[in-house]
Chains A and B, each alone.
Chain A
Amino acid sequence: MDNPYVVPAIVVVTLVTVAIGFYGLKLARTTSDFLVASRSVSPTWNAAAIGGEYLSAASFLGIAGLILKYGVDVLWYPVGFAAGYLALLLFVAAPLRRSGAFTLPDFCELRLGSRRLRRLATAFVVFIGWLYLVPQLQGAGLTLTTVTGQPYALGALLVGAVVTINVALGGMRAITFVQAFQYWLKLTALLVPAIFLLLQWQADGRPAVAAPGGPVFHSATSVVIEHDATLTYPDGATVVVRPGERLDFAAGEPVPDVSTVDDTRGPDWLLPGDSEKGMFATYSLILATFLGTMGLPHVLVRFYTNPDGNAARRTTLVVLALVGLFYLLPTLYGVLGRVYTPQLLMTGRTDAVVVLLPGAALGGGLTGQLLAALVAAGAFAAFLSSSSGLLTSVAGVISTDVIGRGSVRDFRLATVVAGVAPIVLSLTIETLDVSQVVGLAFAVAASSFCPLLVLGIWWRGLTARGAAAGVLAGGGGAGGAVLLTVLGPPLSGWPAALVSQPAAWTVPLAFAVMVAVSLASRSRVPADVGAVMLRLHAPESVVAGPARR
């Protein structure tokens, strides 16, 4: 892969991110500045910043890769990632802003007055944050390997270090400007090449994206086999291959099915699945993504930067539109990847499709190279911005709840602590699937913080005991499923479906336990629940006095 523009593009994005960070450093003076940018960020900036922070490696690389592999069924990922903002808007945005809390643990203490619940929430913020950070760093490593041939560890280390230093020095004020810039960069980096790709596809005579005989090589391609596997050709012939073996395919030859790569062939790629397990997985995914967004710590922390509840609502609506606009694009890459980069179906590295597609479709000319560089820059923007936001929120809770009182020094120390752990993890586990891990982070968030927020905001009867029991049952169940998926033995059949997409049972479980235990401990409903409800729901203009900080 000889593209002279890729490395400069990545370096420029990284430098601009750092430069904007230092510009913000001049403005960041107090702890409050560090954590929530002093709540003086305008809604437009804020919405772009939220979008920039949210569109991670999973959105930028992972969705297209999954679509290339599995087809229409995984379109629920982008739909769910966007719909999560609608759930957030409907149930959480304005009341959460009006609560005046800085972080999720703050909300727990403010609503239910329990230090122990606060500590439990802190543990979950850190768990979800790390679970989400690791695939970002892995995406960085994968992208750098794919486009430059540099070792995997370099990309992960580079992004990890830049983000840790930037967050430690600039805090969130800096991050707001960085994130807003990153949203527009990411949109441009997918939109411009997409236009060229569509024109190229048109010029090539619109090759079928789902040829009846399965995918075929668009141009002569050679594939290097990485694992022992059996290749199955469409005519039924099988060939056993060894690692390091190099196979050459001519244009128009069918793409053999590789036994080590799980993918969908034939009409199943084009049509929605209708098996029972498939339906369960689909609804589980819908539940996790629709409800998980509101429980992601780096998304919530942004809401405190709105001036009031109405602004929080309007900001969320703009985010929904911005995110929805972005999600029109990865589908296109996944579909065109089926035409131009079918060799990824053999290597299994489908997460690389977004980065490889411009070069593969447009050739090695100047246009192809420049667009490939633009996409690589956008991918790095995705890693940098998502990991910055995640790190800020994880460091925020560690600095206030674990290390000390949340001074600027504590925050810097916490950032280093919070940053080193996922960097080490991402170096030790290389083969995790980017989007799946992010999906699991959503499932944990949907089974822990979503019930806590929704019931905390809308139900007077919630008690600290009920909240803790629900978070432990739902979040613990989903967290256990995550650990089993990542570390445990491979499963098949229903156990696999229940463990790999746990939300369909952990979310109802969390809600049920939370309500049941709260009803059983009814006498422990906080005495100030009326005042808190007033503060959460009444417009700022009618609430005065001690209820407002």
Chain B
Amino acid sequence: MAEGRRTRVVLADVQPRVHDHDRTRAELAEQTQVGEALVRGLVRAQLALALRLSLVVAIGLGGLPLLFAVAPEVSTAKVAGVDLPWLLLGVAAFPFLVVVGWAYVRLAERNEQDFVAVVRRPER
């Protein structure tokens, strides 16, 4: 692991000021350290989010074969004349996946907005 490795996190549109060299440099150095920690935090937050939602799918869909095996009455149940396993796998699975995906896109973008807000704050 490259602990303590420094990374520049700078705003694309920020021009370094020419006067007061020492202060600018100090600021950048500080930002770099903060940046590294922030990136680690962002990666961790995004990974935790992805894993949480995978768990939802793993239980919601991945649990079905097990459920059908341990509770045969679920496999023989009928909803509106259609066998429940066919309805769950043939129809309901797809909107379920889309809803999980939609939630992920929203939450992941929010994580990124938080990151951007924190990165920009010290420069103001």
A contact set with B: CB distance below 8 Å: 72, 75-76, 78-79, 82-83, 85-87, 89-91, 94, 270-272, 274, 279, 282-283, 286, 310, 313-314, 316-317, 320-321, 324-325, 327-328, 331, 458, 460-461, 522, 525, 527, 529-531, 533-534, 537-539, 541-545, 547
Q: What would be 13 A-B contacts, judged by CB atoms less than 8 Å apart?
A: A86-B104, A90-B54, A90-B104, A271-B72, A279-B69, A286-B62, A327-B94, A458-B43, A530-B2, A533-B40, A534-B9, A537-B39, A538-B112
**Is B18 in contact with chain A by the CB < 8 A criterion?**
no
A314 / chain B contacts, CB cutoff of 8 Å: 105
Q: Which residues of A contact B98 (CB under 8 A)?
A: 317, 320-321, 324
Kindly list chain A residues whose C-beta atoms are within 8 Å of the C-beta of B57: 83, 86
Add 12 more A-B contacts to A538-B9, A539-B112 (CB < 8 A): A90-B53, A271-B76, A272-B85, A282-B65, A328-B94, A522-B1, A525-B2, A533-B43, A534-B35, A537-B39, A537-B42, A545-B10
B30 within 8 A of partner (CB)? no
Selected from B66, B100, B105, the residue in CB contact (under 8 A) with A313 is B105
By the criterion CB–CB under 8 Å, are B9 and A542 in contact? yes
State whether A320 touches B116 (Cβ < 8 A).
no
Chain B contributes a number of interface residues (CB within 8 A of A) equal to 55
Q: Give Cα distance in the complex from A537 to B46, angstroms.
A: 9
Chain A residues within 8 Å of B90, by CB: 75, 78, 328, 331
Contact partners of A87 in chain B: CB under 8 A: 54
Contact with A along B95-119 (1 / 0, CB 8 A): 1011011101100110010011001
Q: CB-nearest residue of chain A relative to B42?
A: A537
Task: State A72–B89 Cα separation when bound (angstroms).
Answer: 8
Point out the residue from B36, B89, B105 that lies within 8 Å of A89, measured CB to CB: B105
- A310 B109 Cβ-Cβ under 8 A: yes
The 5 closest A-B pairs by CB, nearest first: A324-B94, A75-B89, A272-B68, A544-B12, A90-B50
B124 at the interface (CB under 8 A from A): no
Complex interface: chain A residues within 8 A of B86 (CB): 72, 75, 270, 331
Residue B25 interfacial (CB < 8 Å): no
Would you call A89 and B101 a contact (CB within 8 A)?
yes
Q: Chain A contacts of B75 at CB under 8 A?
A: 271-272
Which B residues lie within 8 Å of A321 (CB)? 98
B29 CB-CB contact with A under 8 Å: no
Q: How far is the CA of A274 from the CA of B67 in the complex (A)?
A: 10
